[in-house]
Structure 1
Amino acid sequence: MNNKPATQIAVIAVFLQIAMQLIFQYIGTNLFGFNEYLRYFLSGLSILTYLLVLAFLLSVLRYYNEKNSIAIAFGVYIIFTTINNTVNLTIGYWMANPVTYYTISSIVHFFMVLYVAIMAFMVKHPVIRKGFALFAILSLVATIAVMFLPMLFGLLNIGFKAYRYIYLISILPLIAAIIIFNKTGEDTKSPDFLSDKPLFKNDPF
């Protein structure tokens, strides 16, 4: 059994997520008042691709028999991300002033990322250990930057377009995900790798 197709799909999912981030950046900076239905479609697609990336990361952890506590952390983060992003996407319909919610959501999100980052540093397998450590560092950097740079930019009176570019920092953890998936793909096709188990249960590849 060769897991190369599965890891290739994972890398494609990462690049799709990066593409979605860049599209949103362009639309937010250059197009005002664009079609609301298109915005919801692109938002939903972005959420799905990000969840797919997280699902592949969780599968890699299970593939290398990492501790259940690490896998549980990523599983909890996937559930939180699904609920949080879904609420963020629809909150305008049922809450007139969601500022308080966004503040609480940002704080909870920070602690969730911190939890996942701490657990990611506990990954032991040599093939993926450095990749998950990098993912942890970049996730924390991106989360802290998105939380605090807007306030800093406001104090420095930096222009709106520069403010919008802050959210491109969220691409950083995806770079680590590409490294993890590439390392996994290289390892599973090595003649020294004796395991023939699939990356996913009932893996069709």
Structure 2
Amino acid sequence: MAQFEHLSLKRLQGELVRRKPPGFGGGVGRERQAHGAKISNEVAAVLDEHAAQTAGVEGVDPSLILRLEIAGLIDESEWGRLGLTVLSEDQNKTLLLFANDKELQLFRLRLESYMAGTPTGQKNPPYAGFIDAIESVGFSQPKDRIGRSLLSLGIANPDDFDDEEVYLLDVELFHPAANDMAEIFVYRLGSALGHKLIKWVFKSAGI
């Protein structure tokens, strides 16, 4: 049998750092009523802005995409329970969320429970970990949908595009639950950008 020199092993000093399980981040101190009122007002403003957009475009029902800044960890499944789908998350803890429920009813119910106070026998209001981890709620802006390739060209806002330049772009559409809704999304894009481009989008998306 071949003989091999044993490897020398060193004892690890100190404690192992345990990986945090999915859930809510701690350590965010909030004054419940003030924070709850702030988030509630921001949600109301988002719904008002979305309603104004819907009323301003005849025959078009635009998607509701939220832009949230968070100060803690929120598991993606929690958003799913509220009818929200995570589209993207950047390093600055900013989330873009697609709302299946354009009234955000379940989200607002959690806010109401949180603001109602701490039930008898409990230490914190309902959903305190969830609401405390939310820094702000806003409406997604066009600049939030500009990808890394355009950013590398110095295009960070729609106004940065040069009207004299021709751009070859990939357009990514979020696929909703139903195929007929996906076709509506593509149709809207075609109406905005032109018939020839929309044929290419249909082919590349495999719809």
Q: Same fold, TM exceeding 0.5?
A: no
TM-score normalized by the length of structure 2: 0.29
Hey, which of these two has a bigger chunk of strand by percent?
2
Q: Which has the higher helix share?
A: 1
**Higher Cα Rg, which structure:** 2
Q: Which has the higher contact order (CA 8 A, sep 6+)?
A: 1
